[in-house]
Amino acid sequence: MNILHQSTEFNSFGIDALTLARPDDWHVHVRDGALLKALLPHTAQQFGRAIIMPNLKPPVTTTEQAAAYRKRILAARPTQGPGTAFEPLMTLYLTDNTSPDEIWRARESGFVHGIKLYPAGTTTNSDAGVTDLRHCAVTLEAMQKTSLPLLVHGEVTDPVVDVFDREEVFIDRVLEPLRRDFPALKVVFEHITTRNAVEYVRHADTSLGMLGATITAHHLLLNRNTMLVGGIKPHYYCLPIFKREVHRAALVEAAISGHPRFFLGTDSAPHLKNFKESSCGCAGCYTALHALELYAQTFDEAGALRRLEGFASFHGPDFYGLPRSIDTVTLERSSWTLPENIDIDGMSVVVFKMSKDLSWKLR
Ligand code: NCD
Ligand code: ZN
């Protein structure tokens, strides 16, 4: 068997195994209660750390709530085998009323690593989100001083803007003015889905605060045709919504480019099957079970396996100012069939699947 470590140059053809520094997930929804207990081990077995989204019901808006949520996450970690050392990196949900003091408390906690902006009405549990960023000016100033990054769900909610254009419009209307008004603010443009976002991030003005972007595995693998042609597939519905093929291709190009502003964020977002398969289905794809394998497949198909480690394991911690992992994982070339569902106390969560089998498996 040819075993390869990422630090050596290679041609991916004929490589059967790939060892890399243990990756981290820079954007994930692990939910709470029964879902958290049943599903957290999937994330913990794949990743060393993960940025935990705060869009619970009610949302995690204070450091105190984040501390309690962190405890529940730690209690859901596997008790043996891989995943026991998993570290949740907490975030707070920004509202019109988040105070600068709360930002200082978050920074002093040592376990809060970002503040999440959901423009009100954009996505799952975003009703308590920000109605107008002008309400948050003093809080954003505190974020500049503490270097706590703002993690943005980058879509406008203006009803006249087409759902497929909401990310592109967000760049001009919100993101660029925000970065000019707060020139030291660190920003992560979360789960980018368009060529426009790729270009904006790649050419970001370096005189302003640091800018990074996460890219999901599902947006690297599928375009909107897969979701809509031949019948609507509710398990592919997520936000931001899948776009045209040119956008998917631009995302792959960014992910494999080796550019340090692009890093892994699964946006794995489990919903119960009956809420997805409904007349008003929830947005979110469940990829935590097999995220690394999905990313490996994308990089392999693009002939860029040697760039996977930077994207999955180095660019994220470098952006967040955290140490790179000293642990490793090994992926093996091996075809496997995923389960259809994860059963949870008589309910189920459908696993994100494509028409073909996966060609990599975590050892
Ligand atoms: C996420 C969820 O369900 O919490 N859904 C999704 O489609 N990605 C929210 C989000 O990140 O937009
Ligand atoms: Zn998300």
**Phi, psi for residue 112 in degrees, rounded to 5:** -95, 125
Ligand 1 neighbourhood includes 241 CB (under 6 angstroms): no
Task: Show the tokens assigned to 144.
Answer: 């500049």
Task: Show the tokens assigned to 99.
Answer: 């105070």
Domain assignment present for residue 57? The answer is yes
Neighbours of 203 (CB within 10 A): 8
- Rounded-to-integer distance, Cα 140 and Cα 288, Å: 31
Ligand 1 neighbourhood includes 267 CB (under 6 angstroms): yes
Digit-coded pLDDT (tens) for 213-224: 999 999 999 999
> 284 Cβ partners below 8 Å, 6+ apart?
29, 124, 237, 238, 239, 267, 268, 269, 270, 271, 276
Ligand 1 neighbourhood includes 67 CB (under 6 angstroms): no
DSSP annotation string for 231-282: S--GGG--SSPP--HHHHHHHHHHHTT--TTEEE---B----HHHHSSTTPP
Residue appearing with tokens 């009803």: 159
* Segment 294-322 mean pLDDT: 97
In whole angstroms, how large is the CA radius of gyration of the chain? Answer: 19
pLDDT of residue 5: 53
Any bridge partners for residue 5, and if so which? 19
Q: What CATH number does residue 282 fall under? A: 3.20.20.140
Domain assignment present for residue 19? The answer is no
- pLDDT bracket for residue 1 (50, 70, 90): very low
pLDDT of residue 15: 82
pTM for this prediction: 0.96
* CA 216 to centroid of ligand 1, rounded, Å: 12
Ligand 1 neighbourhood includes 153 CB (under 6 angstroms): yes
* CA 282 to centroid of ligand 2, rounded, Å: 12
Looking only at the bridges linking them, the beta strands covering 3-5 and 341-344 are unpaired
Closest listed residue to residue 193, CA positions, set 149, 155, 156: 155
Instruction: Write down the catalytic residue from 267, 318, 327, 345.
Output: 267
| DSSP 8-state secondary structure symbol assigned to residue 204 | -
* CA 154 to centroid of ligand 1, rounded, Å: 12
Which residues have C-beta under 5 Å from ligand 2, the single-atom ion?
267
Domain assignment present for residue 354? The answer is no
Looking only at the bridges linking them, the beta strands covering 358-362 and 25-28 are unpaired
**b/e map 253-281, b = 16+ CB within 10 Å:** bbbbbebebbbbbbbbbbbbbeebeeeee
Domain assignment present for residue 244? The answer is yes
- Rounded-to-integer distance, Cα 244 and Cα 342, Å: 30
Q: Which ligand is nearest to the CA of 285?
A: 1
Q: How many domains does the chain have?
A: 1
| DSSP 8-state secondary structure symbol assigned to residue 333 | E
Residue nearest to atom 9 of ligand 1 (CA): 124
Digit-coded pLDDT (tens) for 97-122: 999 999 999 999 999 999 999 999 88
Domain assignment present for residue 123? The answer is yes
Catalytic: 345? no
The answer to whether residue 7 scores a pLDDT higher than 60 is: no
Digit-coded pLDDT (tens) for 10-61: 445 568 999 999 999 999 999 999 999 999 999 999 999 999 999 999 999 9
Domain assignment present for residue 2? The answer is no
Domain assignment present for residue 287? The answer is yes
Digit-coded pLDDT (tens) for 126-164: 889 999 999 999 999 999 999 999 999 999 999 999 999
What domain range is 91 assigned to? 24-325
Ligand 1 neighbourhood includes 284 CB (under 6 angstroms): yes
Domain assignment present for residue 273? The answer is yes
pLDDT of residue 240: 98
